[in-house]
Structure 1
Amino acid sequence: MGERTTQTPLYYLPGGKCADGTKNRDIICDERGWTAKNGDTSAMDGAGDQANCDEFAFNSTYNGGGMPKAEDGLNPVGSGSQCVQTYAKKADDGTVHLYDIDGHVPTWKEICGRSAISGKHNQGSMAGFGGFAKNMRLMDRDPYWRETNMRGDCQDKDGGFKCTMSINR
């Protein structure tokens, strides 16, 4: 989703809010305490960092699972429990990996995702998006592409999954 190669753009939703004022994020990260329950302190980035619920598709898109069909939502779900669910954990070598939450092994047919990750990483990863939207003069429902210059190869492994990220060359 959001990739030019699959011709599935993301569609801009200013402010990420539904008509009733709720946000996509409120649906995907809906379970009270979900992030605290599933977050791993090893993945936090220094003092003061706290686990955050990171959702995909992004909050500010019509592609987000929390956007109702009645408001032109493209992938509506009733709860984040219908999404791929992962948590971040730091490995012994200092790298951070995503792990499936016990009992929630992805089928890779899910249309959304949520992960308990570092709040600093979550906020930092999309920090430039507001400037991008302004500079590109994105308007409500404008299509745009997500380009990370990376790809992921995910395989079932030992009752879970393992994804290897690679830089596109």
Structure 2
Amino acid sequence: MHRMTDKVQQEHNRNTICNKTGVGKWTAHPDATGDTQGVQCDEFPFAATQESGGIPTPVVNGGICAQLFAQKQDDGTWRLFDDDGYDPPTWKEICGRASMPGKQNGDAGRGPGLSGFFTKARVQNGGAFYMEVPQMEGCNPDDVCVIRP
């Protein structure tokens, strides 16, 4: 991916993918696990990247994204489920959005999250970076993929 520092464009990207009104609006899944900040919409690719679903012309709202929700399991693991309030994912979508715990969503972007990574790794505007999620490598989206804390 490539870092994009334009704050106005980042906000546009978030609002496009996590639109709360109009066609394809995001609605929190009732079974998503919330936290002290409730349930929020989280988008991927990140709003602060040039690959964000909010940038390509064809994406007019997040309704075309893969729709998921996060739920904490009794054993402490987290699972992502298809949000059946939308069409099932084809896994060819150029973007995804999910109902996530609000504090986790915020922390992923601020502090030690993505913003902290950009600073520590000195990734400049337009700079390329690779994202790796070891727990998900090789996971087939049709299977259950469990991330352990």
- TM band (smaller chain): 0.7 to 0.9
Give the 3 Å change call, closer, same or farther, for CA 166–52 of structure 1 in structure 2: closer
Q: Give the total of aligned pairs.
A: 141
Q: Distance in 1 between matches of 2:77 and 2:83?
A: 19
Contact residue 68 and residue 98 of structure 2 kept, 8 A: yes
- Partner residue in 2 for 1:82: 64
2:87 aligned with 1:104, yes or no? yes
Q: Distance in 1 between matches of 2:40 and 2:59?
A: 20
- Partner residue in 1 for 2:54: 66
Contact residue 26 and residue 62 of structure 2 kept, 8 A: no
Stretches of structure 2 that go unaligned for 5 or more consecutive residues are: none
Q: Distance in 1 between matches of 2:100 and 2:140?
A: 19
CA deviations over 1:26-45 (Å, ceiling 9, x no partner): 10001337243x2435x123
Question: Aligned-pair distance for 1:22?
Answer: 4.1
Classify the secondary structure of the residue corresponding to 2:48. Answer: coil
Structure with greater Cα Rg: 1
Question: Aligned-pair distance for 1:86?
Answer: 0.7
Look up the equivalent residue of 1:27 and give its one-letter code: T
State the identity %.
35
Q: Which contiguous aligned blocks of 4+ residues in structure 1 show a shift greater than 6 angstroms?
A: none
Q: Distance in 2 between matches of 1:121 and 1:39?
A: 17
Structure with greater proportional strand content: 1
TM-score, normalization by structure 1: 0.70
Contact residue 16 and residue 24 of structure 1 kept, 8 A: no
Classify the secondary structure of the residue corresponding to 1:54. Answer: strand
Question: Aligned-pair distance for 1:16?
Answer: 4.7
Contact residue 39 and residue 116 of structure 1 kept, 8 A: no
Q: Distance in 1 between matches of 2:14 and 2:5?
A: 14
Look up the equivalent residue of 2:20 and give its one-letter code: E
TM-score, normalization by structure 2: 0.78
Contact residue 79 and residue 145 of structure 2 kept, 8 A: no
* Root mean square deviation, CA, Å: 2.5
Give the 3 Å change call, closer, same or farther, for CA 91–148 of structure 1 in structure 2: closer
Q: Distance in 2 between matches of 1:58 and 1:148?
A: 15
